């Protein structure tokens, strides 16, 4: 299972009918972190009339929240959320701060403005793919470790670091379907002297293809 988030925070701005729409897009790990970002942006712009927000969390965008923050119901948070979901992003929060310019936009105008503000921020964002991976540790002799690493890299298995003591312990991050062929590879190259130790599965950032 894999999904996309963003690699770094994004700021975007657009002016529509004299109102300024400032968008902050940040990566977050949970609902508490998302609400902290919303509070921080609100504190950065105390004179603004509205700080509307939306966030999407977890694989499959299982958690979705939005808030109109005083705009007419359904004209801000919902279109912002739709922009995030349409962009295929999760573990992100969007906050759009509006400085009112004196011209009423109407419900349709507000909906378009808030959606396009978030859509522009997602367009500017650098994406980061995340996937469910299992940590696997392989402890082997010094003469065997380079062979395992070289063949693992050739087959696309991700090395996550190594520790060096009396023997070498290499750490790999593998998809579920890679576990059995990797174990067979280690057994073959080490003559059965090295055994992979499997840890817990967790979502991790994946290297660029």
What sign results for the dihedral spanned by CA atoms 141, 143, 144, 146? positive
Q: Cα–Cα distance between 55 and 28 in angstroms, integer?
A: 9
Domain coverage including residue 155: 129-205
Q: How far is CA 139 from CA 142, 170, 177, in A?
A: 9, 6, 21
- For residues 18-38, average pLDDT: 97
Q: Provide mean pLDDT across the span 27-51.
A: 96
* Last residue in a domain, options 101, 125, 149: 125
Q: What is the pLDDT of residue 42?
A: 96
Shared domain for 112 and 141, answered yes or no, is no
For residues 79 and 47, membership in a common domain is answered with yes
pLDDT of 86-136, one tens digit each? 999 999 999 999 999 878 889 999 999 999 999 999 999 999 999 999 999
pLDDT in tens, 152-201: 999 999 899 999 999 999 999 999 999 999 999 999 999 999 989 999 89
pLDDT number for residue 123: 97
pLDDT per position as a tens digit, 48-57: 989 999 999 9
| C-alpha pair distances (Å), 44 with each of 39, 66, 97, 99 | 9, 20, 10, 13
* Structural domains of the chain, count: 2
* Final residue before a domain boundary, out of 92, 125, 158: 125
Give the rounded percent of residues in the chain with a pLDDT score beyond 70.
100
CATH number (domain holding residue 42): 3.30.230.30
CA distances (Å), origin 54, targets 60, 66, 202: 16, 4, 25
Which of 8-12, 21-25, 77-81, 160-164 shows the lowest mean pLDDT across its residues?
160-164
Residues 38 and 97 in one domain: yes
Q: Which of 125, 151, 173 is the last residue of a domain?
A: 125
The pTM is what?
0.84
């Amino acid at each position: 299972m894999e999904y996309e988030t963003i690699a770094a925070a994004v700021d975007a701005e657009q002016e529509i009918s004299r109102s300024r729409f400032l968008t902050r897009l940040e990566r977050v790990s949970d609902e508490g972190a998302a609400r902290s970002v919303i509070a921080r942006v609100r504190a950065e712009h105390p004179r603004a009339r509205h700080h509307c927000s939306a966030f999407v969390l977890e694989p499959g965008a299982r958690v979705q929240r939005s808030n109109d923050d005083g705009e007419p119901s359904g004209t801000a948070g919902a279109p912002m959320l739709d922009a995030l979901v349409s962009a295929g992003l999760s573990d992100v929060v969007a906050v759009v701060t509006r400085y009112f310019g004196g011209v009423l936009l109407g419900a349709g105008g507000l909906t378009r403005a808030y959606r396009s503000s978030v859509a522009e921020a997602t367009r500017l964002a650098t994406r980061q793919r995340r996937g469910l991976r299992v940590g696997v540790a392989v402890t082997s002799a010094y003469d065997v470790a380079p062979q395992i690493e070289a063949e693992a890299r050739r087959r696309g298995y991700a090395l996550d670091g190594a520790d060096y003591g009396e023997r070498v312990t290499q750490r790999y991050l593998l998809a579920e379907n890679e576990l059995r062929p990797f174990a067979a590879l280690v057994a073959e190259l080490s003559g059965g002297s090295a055994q992979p130790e499997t840890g817990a599965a967790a979502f991790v950032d994946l290297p660029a293809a």
